[in-house]
Amino acid sequence: MATPVTYNEDNIRSLDWREHIRMRPGMYIGKLGDGSTPDDGIYILVKEVLDNCIDEYVMGHGKEVLIEIEDGEVMIRDFGRGIPLGKVVDCVSKINTGGKYDSKAFKKSVGLNGVGTKAVNALSNKFIVESFRENKAKYAEFTGGEVVADKKIAKTTEPNGTKITFRPDETIFKKYKFNPEFVINQLWNYAYLNAGLKMRFNGETFHSKNGLLDLLERRTAAEEKRYPIIHLLGDDIEVALTHGNHYGEQYYSFVNGQHTTQGGTHLNAFRESLVSTIRTHFGKNYDAKDIRASVIGALSVRIEEPVFESQTKTKLGSTVTGPGGPTLRTFVNDFLSKKLDDFLHRNQEVAQAIQKRIIQSERERKEIAGIKKLANQRAKKANIHNKKLRDCRLHRTDNAKKVSEEDRNATTVFITEGDSASGSITKARDVQRQAVFSLRGKPLNCFGMTKKVVYQNEELNLLQHALDIEDGIETLRYNNVVIATDADVDGMHIRLLLLTFFLQFFPDVVRAGHLYILETPLFRVRDKKQTFYCYSEQEKMQAMDSLRGKPEVTRFKGLGEISPSEFKDFIGEDIRLRPVLMRDDLDLDSLLAYYMGKNTPARQVFIIENLKVEEDILPGEIPGMEVDELKAA
């Protein structure tokens, strides 16, 4: 008989601010991670400190910010007013303490809840705050949020401002490592949104004169644009806009300088207003999909007291511009309906280019309408959810549409090839949140083809139905789409074919950070007492050196060779996922043409020069394994 569970006064605990943040870090900074993806916690810590520097600049204080990251330690120094010296310790260690509650001082600030630097403090094993103000300085040092040094106010010759130095706690952010590229992208966004501000990172300067125009110029440098970028400025709103030739929509949205990677009410208002303005200008009821097809846009708004859907501020929830102000929908629509319409009247060539793109999209959509209908019928008849997709329970319930955002963000689908590989993952997976889609053989190389092929090819059609991305990523059923292939030549080839499929037809999945490569161990090294799973030749050698005698070494080539009991560890809490990244300067068309197009003499030379025996090939040695590695390769 089970022991009864007691529930009384002894079960009730009160945590102080520091304990709560350390026990539930996800509530404050989102996921933890090891620094391999741009939304990992260590970058949120950097952002929280930088937000305060930016707020000082916006208020007219300090035109420069210094950032240094070395050996996992971060230093950020602004030249604003400096934290009032008598409140330095309170501002970084007392929840609900800060200057941003005074809306007169920080009317349109990013951080309003007084949590940011406290979270950085609590989640760092070293945190130093220094404030310089009117030739006086205050210094305090913390470990895990606890004060270890609190020096008296002293004289200084340092210019005004605040300097924070911290090292993320390695017991919380395990094996973390800062990727400079992710930090650089953060800093460029800050620079674009704060024209005139100089940010210096490890000796490199980030500065923008033209705001969102510079942002879109940089993000589309390698992409063919249908017309020069439209740049519109207004009070508390800025827009940059163009159309390309890719599939899908591409947006960069910001609120009070915060990059809202998941959009929100302001981006929804922009997308609606763009459609209504274009319809009104041309006097035609164009389909919204055709108007927004291939659009590349950037939007920045500044509002009072913004409400975000989480502490990480990636999605705006506010519906109004501030207390007593107009709705965001009205604010954005009024701006676009006048400014964009006026621009198109004054620039007829641009207006004609937009209309031409809309008509082209309309024609393409109608051309595949019949094929699409038949393909949807075939997908339904194929009973995809029984034969191809072993779904997770979150999506199989009758309440699938009511799945919370938190649960949806935890869902993963593994795309595998063959019954043995899918069988191992299926038996080892977390059935609540992990799904498996099984391919039959190698997918089609769809480079250079139109979207018609997605509906004509059964495998590609069933894959897009399983993911529910036919009309864009708003309906994407899984937050993490993971390519899981064998660690051999055939597996690498399948991986590239799948990458081509997503990049050709659904680049939004990649841009939004949903596509990953599953890393599985290449070797198992063991003796009678210990077992090591190794992901590289170097790890294998280290494992062999650590074991006495002659250890047994197994080389895993296929996922099906790894037993479900072993696989459970590799797709559990310690799962290794490599994000598929797209650099801003990536010329995607040229890249895909080189690697996935016809065999040109240049590519034949490349293949010969880089030829390796199959047994020696490791995932990290395969050129083209990740999009951002292809060009370097």
| The pLDDT of residue 153 | 93
For 530-581, what is each residue's pLDDT tens digit?
898 888 888 899 999 888 788 999 988 778 778 888 888 888 877 888 888 8
**Banded pLDDT at 401 (limits 50, 70, 90):** low
Task: State how far the Cα of 257 lies from the Cα of 278, in Å rounded to an integer.
Answer: 27
Q: Which amino acid is at 66?
A: L
Residue 622 clears pLDDT 50, i.e. is over it: no
| Separation of alpha carbons 576 and 37, rounded Å | 11
Query: Looking at residue 631, what is its pLDDT?
Result: 40
pLDDT digits (tens, 9 = 90+) for 75-105: 999 999 999 999 899 888 887 555 444 444 4
Tens of pLDDT, residue by residue over 430-447, are 898 999 998 887 888 888
> What's the rounded Cα separation, in Å, for the pair 592 and 534?
31
Q: What is the mean pLDDT of the chain?
A: 84
Q: Residue 227's pLDDT band (boundaries 50, 70, 90)?
A: very high
Q: Could you give all domains of the chain from N- to C-terminal order, each with its CATH number? A: 17-206 (3.30.565.10), 212-366 (3.30.230.10), 369-520+558-630 (3.40.50.670), 523-553 (no CATH)
Higher-confidence residue of 389 and 159: namely 159
C-alpha 457 chain-centroid distance: 30
pLDDT of residue 162: 95
Q: Tell me the longest C-alpha to C-alpha distance in the chain.
A: 82
The larger pLDDT score, comparing residue 482 to residue 597, is at: 482
pTM of the model: 0.76
**Secondary structure element (H or E) that encloses residue 490, with its range:** helix 489-505
Average pLDDT over residues 620-633: 41
Reported as a pLDDT band with limits 50, 70 and 90, residue 625 is very low
Element at 210 (helix H, strand E): none
H/E element holding 198?
A: strand 198-201
| pLDDT tier, 626 (very low <50, low <70, confident <90, very high otherwise) | very low
600, two tokens: 């040109």
Question: pLDDT for 345-360, tens place per residue?
Answer: 999 999 999 999 999 9
Lowest-pLDDT range of 74-83, 219-228, 580-589: 580-589
Cβ(153)–Cβ(138) under 8 Å?
yes
Q: Say if residues 263 and 251 touch (Cβ distance below 8 Å).
A: yes
pLDDT above 70 for 61 = yes
Average of pLDDT values for 187-214? 92
On the question of pLDDT at 241 being above 60, the answer is yes
Q: E-strand spans in 134-187? A: 136-143, 146-150, 154-155, 161-168
| Mean predicted confidence (pLDDT) in 451-478 | 87
Asked if 316 contacts 309 with a C-beta cutoff of 8 angstroms, the reply is yes
Least confident among 50-64, 248-262, 581-595: 581-595
- Report the 3 state secondary structure along 587-611: CHHHHHHHHHCCCCHHHHHHHHHCC
User: Any idea what the Cα angle at residue 521 is, between residues 515 and 527, rounded to 5°?
Assistant: 165
Beta bridge mates, 140: 129, 150
For the purposes of burial, counting CB atoms within 10 Å of the CB of 45, is it exposed (0-12), middle (13-18) or buried (19 or more)?
A: buried
Whether residue 148 has pLDDT greater than 50: yes
pLDDT digits (tens, 9 = 90+) for 102-146: 444 445 555 543 578 899 999 999 999 999 999 999 999 999 989
Q: What percent of the chain has a predicted confidence (pLDDT) above 90?
A: 38
End-to-end CA distance of the chain: 63
The Cβ-side half-sphere exposure at 428, using a 13 Å CA radius, reads 22
pLDDT surpassing 60 at residue 499: yes
Q: What is the mean pLDDT of residues 377-390?
A: 69
Q: Give the model's pLDDT for residue 624.
A: 38
